[in-house]
Amino acid sequence: MEVCSLFPFVCILDRKFIDDIQKSSSLPLCSPRLLCFVHIQVLSWKPRALYFPNFATAEQCESIISSAKPRLKPSTLALRKGETDETTKGVRTRYLHASEDVTGVLDVIEEKIARATMIPKSHGEAFNILRYEIGQKYDSHYDAFNPSEYGPQKSQRVASFLLYLSDVEVGGDTMFPFENGMSVPENYDFKECIGLKVKPRQGDGLLFYSLFPNGTIDPTSLHGSCPVTRGEKWVATKWIRDQEQSDADE
Protein backbone atom coordinates (compact mmCIF):
# COMPACT_ATOMS: atom_id res chain seq x y z
CA MET A 1 0.00 0.00 0.00
CA GLU A 2 1.41 3.38 -0.98
CA VAL A 3 -0.09 5.95 1.37
CA CYS A 4 1.25 8.90 -0.66
CA SER A 5 -1.04 8.11 -3.57
CA LEU A 6 -4.06 8.13 -1.29
CA PHE A 7 -3.27 10.91 1.15
CA PRO A 8 -0.78 13.50 -0.14
CA PHE A 9 -0.72 15.33 3.19
CA VAL A 10 1.11 12.40 4.79
CA CYS A 11 3.96 13.02 2.36
CA ILE A 12 3.93 16.82 1.96
CA LEU A 13 4.00 17.28 5.72
CA ASP A 14 7.55 18.57 5.86
CA ARG A 15 9.39 21.50 7.40
CA LYS A 16 9.19 23.72 4.32
CA PHE A 17 5.44 23.21 4.02
CA ILE A 18 4.86 24.13 7.66
CA ASP A 19 7.28 27.07 7.44
CA ASP A 20 5.29 28.43 4.49
CA ILE A 21 2.17 28.39 6.63
CA GLN A 22 3.69 29.78 9.80
CA LYS A 23 6.01 32.48 8.42
CA SER A 24 4.19 34.09 5.50
CA SER A 25 1.52 36.56 6.61
CA SER A 26 0.67 37.28 2.95
CA LEU A 27 -0.64 33.78 2.28
CA PRO A 28 -4.43 33.45 1.94
CA LEU A 29 -6.31 31.86 4.82
CA CYS A 30 -7.77 29.20 2.52
CA SER A 31 -6.42 27.71 -0.69
CA PRO A 32 -6.07 24.25 -2.26
CA ARG A 33 -2.56 24.01 -0.78
CA LEU A 34 -3.12 25.59 2.63
CA LEU A 35 -5.45 24.71 5.47
CA CYS A 36 -8.25 26.97 6.60
CA PHE A 37 -6.52 27.29 9.97
CA VAL A 38 -3.86 29.82 10.86
CA HIS A 39 -2.59 28.08 13.99
CA ILE A 40 -0.63 24.88 13.43
CA GLN A 41 2.15 23.81 15.77
CA VAL A 42 4.60 21.05 14.91
CA LEU A 43 5.17 19.01 18.05
CA SER A 44 7.34 16.28 16.58
CA TRP A 45 8.66 14.84 13.33
CA LYS A 46 9.10 11.37 14.85
CA PRO A 47 6.21 10.66 15.10
CA ARG A 48 4.64 13.24 12.80
CA ALA A 49 2.47 15.13 15.25
CA LEU A 50 0.66 18.46 14.80
CA TYR A 51 -1.20 20.56 17.34
CA PHE A 52 -4.24 22.69 16.50
CA PRO A 53 -5.02 25.27 19.22
CA ASN A 54 -8.67 26.34 19.48
CA PHE A 55 -9.83 23.76 16.96
CA ALA A 56 -13.30 23.68 18.54
CA THR A 57 -15.21 26.09 20.76
CA ALA A 58 -16.02 25.44 24.40
CA GLU A 59 -19.70 25.27 23.45
CA GLN A 60 -19.01 22.59 20.83
CA CYS A 61 -16.98 20.54 23.31
CA GLU A 62 -19.69 20.74 25.98
CA SER A 63 -22.30 19.73 23.40
CA ILE A 64 -20.34 16.60 22.48
CA ILE A 65 -19.93 15.66 26.15
CA SER A 66 -23.67 16.12 26.73
CA SER A 67 -24.46 13.87 23.76
CA ALA A 68 -22.14 11.08 24.89
CA LYS A 69 -22.51 11.18 28.68
CA PRO A 70 -25.84 9.32 29.04
CA ARG A 71 -24.62 6.53 26.76
CA LEU A 72 -21.16 5.80 28.19
CA LYS A 73 -20.12 2.17 28.63
CA PRO A 74 -16.98 0.44 29.94
CA SER A 75 -14.17 0.69 27.41
CA THR A 76 -13.79 -2.23 25.00
CA LEU A 77 -10.90 -0.83 22.96
CA ALA A 78 -8.60 -3.41 21.39
CA LEU A 79 -5.86 -4.71 23.67
CA ARG A 80 -2.37 -5.90 22.83
CA LYS A 81 -1.57 -9.59 23.18
CA GLY A 82 -1.19 -10.53 26.83
CA GLU A 83 -3.16 -7.55 28.15
CA THR A 84 -6.36 -7.70 30.17
CA ASP A 85 -9.12 -5.19 30.62
CA GLU A 86 -7.50 -4.21 33.93
CA THR A 87 -5.39 -1.74 31.93
CA THR A 88 -8.51 0.25 31.03
CA LYS A 89 -10.64 -0.56 34.08
CA GLY A 90 -13.05 2.27 34.85
CA VAL A 91 -12.53 4.17 31.59
CA ARG A 92 -15.87 4.93 29.95
CA THR A 93 -16.40 5.28 26.23
CA ARG A 94 -19.02 5.78 23.53
CA TYR A 95 -18.82 5.49 19.76
CA LEU A 96 -20.83 8.22 18.05
CA HIS A 97 -21.44 8.74 14.35
CA ALA A 98 -21.92 12.34 13.30
CA SER A 99 -25.36 11.32 12.04
CA GLU A 100 -26.38 10.38 15.60
CA ASP A 101 -25.73 13.90 16.92
CA VAL A 102 -28.95 15.88 16.51
CA THR A 103 -27.13 19.14 17.31
CA GLY A 104 -24.97 18.87 14.18
CA VAL A 105 -21.79 19.67 16.13
CA LEU A 106 -20.05 16.38 15.30
CA ASP A 107 -20.76 16.91 11.61
CA VAL A 108 -19.06 20.32 11.76
CA ILE A 109 -16.05 18.86 13.60
CA GLU A 110 -15.84 15.96 11.16
CA GLU A 111 -15.74 18.33 8.20
CA LYS A 112 -13.06 20.39 9.91
CA ILE A 113 -10.93 17.32 10.59
CA ALA A 114 -11.24 16.32 6.92
CA ARG A 115 -9.92 19.73 5.87
CA ALA A 116 -7.13 19.64 8.46
CA THR A 117 -5.92 16.19 7.41
CA MET A 118 -6.74 16.52 3.69
CA ILE A 119 -8.30 13.06 3.99
CA PRO A 120 -11.98 12.62 3.02
CA LYS A 121 -14.30 12.23 5.99
CA SER A 122 -15.58 8.97 4.46
CA HIS A 123 -12.29 7.40 5.60
CA GLY A 124 -12.99 8.14 9.27
CA GLU A 125 -14.36 5.76 11.87
CA ALA A 126 -17.11 6.89 14.22
CA PHE A 127 -15.98 9.29 16.93
CA ASN A 128 -14.77 7.51 20.05
CA ILE A 129 -15.66 9.61 23.10
CA LEU A 130 -13.63 8.73 26.20
CA ARG A 131 -13.95 9.84 29.80
CA TYR A 132 -11.14 9.39 32.32
CA GLU A 133 -11.66 10.02 36.03
CA ILE A 134 -9.04 10.31 38.77
CA GLY A 135 -6.47 7.51 38.58
CA GLN A 136 -7.57 6.33 35.15
CA LYS A 137 -5.16 6.10 32.24
CA TYR A 138 -4.43 4.24 29.02
CA ASP A 139 -1.18 2.33 28.71
CA SER A 140 1.03 2.82 25.64
CA HIS A 141 -0.34 1.25 22.47
CA TYR A 142 -0.50 1.63 18.69
CA ASP A 143 -3.65 2.74 16.91
CA ALA A 144 -2.61 0.85 13.76
CA PHE A 145 -3.03 -2.92 13.83
CA ASN A 146 0.05 -5.04 13.24
CA PRO A 147 -1.02 -7.95 10.99
CA SER A 148 1.45 -10.25 12.74
CA GLU A 149 -0.53 -9.76 15.97
CA TYR A 150 -4.07 -9.09 14.77
CA GLY A 151 -4.14 -10.94 11.46
CA PRO A 152 -4.89 -9.54 7.99
CA GLN A 153 -6.69 -6.19 8.02
CA LYS A 154 -9.30 -5.06 5.49
CA SER A 155 -8.00 -1.53 6.01
CA GLN A 156 -5.46 0.20 8.22
CA ARG A 157 -5.49 3.26 10.45
CA VAL A 158 -3.36 5.97 8.86
CA ALA A 159 -3.78 8.75 11.42
CA SER A 160 -5.54 9.74 14.62
CA PHE A 161 -7.11 13.08 15.50
CA LEU A 162 -7.73 13.76 19.18
CA LEU A 163 -10.05 16.60 20.16
CA TYR A 164 -9.71 17.50 23.82
CA LEU A 165 -13.20 18.17 25.16
CA SER A 166 -12.13 19.35 28.61
CA ASP A 167 -9.24 20.83 30.53
CA VAL A 168 -7.59 18.54 33.08
CA GLU A 169 -6.37 20.09 36.31
CA VAL A 170 -3.46 17.69 36.78
CA GLY A 171 -2.36 14.71 34.68
CA GLY A 172 -4.09 13.12 31.72
CA ASP A 173 -1.37 14.08 29.22
CA THR A 174 -1.17 12.25 25.90
CA MET A 175 2.36 10.90 25.73
CA PHE A 176 4.67 9.49 23.08
CA PRO A 177 7.49 7.62 24.85
CA PHE A 178 9.64 7.08 21.76
CA GLU A 179 9.67 10.55 20.22
CA ASN A 180 12.69 11.34 18.01
CA GLY A 181 13.19 7.77 16.90
CA MET A 182 14.07 6.10 20.17
CA SER A 183 14.00 2.33 19.74
CA VAL A 184 11.44 0.28 21.64
CA PRO A 185 13.25 -2.04 24.06
CA GLU A 186 11.77 -5.49 24.61
CA ASN A 187 11.50 -4.84 28.35
CA TYR A 188 9.71 -1.48 28.00
CA ASP A 189 7.05 -0.96 30.68
CA PHE A 190 3.94 0.14 28.78
CA LYS A 191 2.60 1.73 31.97
CA GLU A 192 5.35 4.39 32.01
CA CYS A 193 4.40 8.01 31.36
CA ILE A 194 7.48 9.41 29.61
CA GLY A 195 8.62 11.17 26.44
CA LEU A 196 6.70 13.86 24.55
CA LYS A 197 3.65 14.91 26.57
CA VAL A 198 0.65 16.90 25.34
CA LYS A 199 -1.49 18.52 28.02
CA PRO A 200 -5.25 18.38 27.36
CA ARG A 201 -6.78 21.81 26.79
CA GLN A 202 -10.44 22.15 25.94
CA GLY A 203 -11.00 22.73 22.24
CA ASP A 204 -7.45 21.93 21.11
CA GLY A 205 -6.69 19.17 18.61
CA LEU A 206 -3.81 16.73 18.20
CA LEU A 207 -3.10 14.97 14.90
CA PHE A 208 -0.51 12.22 14.57
CA TYR A 209 0.25 9.63 11.93
CA SER A 210 0.53 5.91 12.68
CA LEU A 211 2.00 4.92 9.31
CA PHE A 212 5.02 5.86 7.27
CA PRO A 213 4.35 6.96 3.66
CA ASN A 214 5.10 3.39 2.52
CA GLY A 215 2.25 2.07 4.67
CA THR A 216 4.31 0.43 7.41
CA ILE A 217 3.70 1.22 11.08
CA ASP A 218 5.76 4.05 12.57
CA PRO A 219 7.18 2.62 15.84
CA THR A 220 7.40 6.13 17.31
CA SER A 221 3.60 6.48 17.08
CA LEU A 222 3.33 4.42 20.25
CA HIS A 223 1.29 6.54 22.67
CA GLY A 224 -0.82 6.46 25.79
CA SER A 225 -2.72 8.57 28.30
CA CYS A 226 -1.04 9.46 31.59
CA PRO A 227 -3.14 9.01 34.75
CA VAL A 228 -5.56 11.78 35.67
CA THR A 229 -4.57 12.89 39.17
CA ARG A 230 -6.97 15.80 39.58
CA GLY A 231 -10.12 16.59 37.64
CA GLU A 232 -11.67 14.71 34.73
CA LYS A 233 -10.58 14.15 31.12
CA TRP A 234 -12.85 14.01 28.08
CA VAL A 235 -11.51 13.38 24.59
CA ALA A 236 -13.04 12.62 21.18
CA THR A 237 -10.88 10.48 18.91
CA LYS A 238 -11.32 10.16 15.16
CA TRP A 239 -9.38 7.26 13.66
CA ILE A 240 -8.71 7.72 9.95
CA ARG A 241 -8.18 4.75 7.64
CA ASP A 242 -6.69 4.10 4.22
CA GLN A 243 -10.06 3.07 2.78
CA GLU A 244 -13.60 4.40 2.92
CA GLN A 245 -15.57 3.19 5.91
CA SER A 246 -19.14 1.97 6.20
CA ASP A 247 -21.15 1.36 9.36
CA ALA A 248 -20.40 -2.34 8.97
CA ASP A 249 -16.66 -1.67 9.12
CA GLU A 250 -16.76 0.12 12.47
pLDDT of residue 127: 97
Taking the C-alpha atoms of residue 128 and residue 162, their distance in angstroms, rounded to an integer, is 9
Using alpha carbons only, what angle is made at residue 160 by residues 178 and 184, rounded to the nearest 5 degrees?
A: 20
* pTM score: 0.82
pLDDT of residue 140: 87
In one-letter notation, the amino acid at residue 112 is K
Taking the C-alpha atoms of residue 221 and residue 211, their distance in angstroms, rounded to an integer, is 8
Taking the C-alpha atoms of residue 6 and residue 105, their distance in angstroms, rounded to an integer, is 27
- According to CATH, the topology of domain 3-144+160-249 is Jelly Rolls (2.60.120)
* Domain limits, the chain: 3-144+160-249
Angle between helices 105-117 and 58-68 (to 10 degrees): 120
Cα 107 → chain centroid: 17
| Averaged pLDDT in 10-residue chunks for the chain of 250 residues | 49 52 45 53 94 97 96 69 52 90 96 92 96 90 90 92 98 92 69 89 98 92 94 98 75
pLDDT of residue 91: 76
Q: Is the Cβ–Cβ distance between 36 and 245 less than 8 Å?
A: no
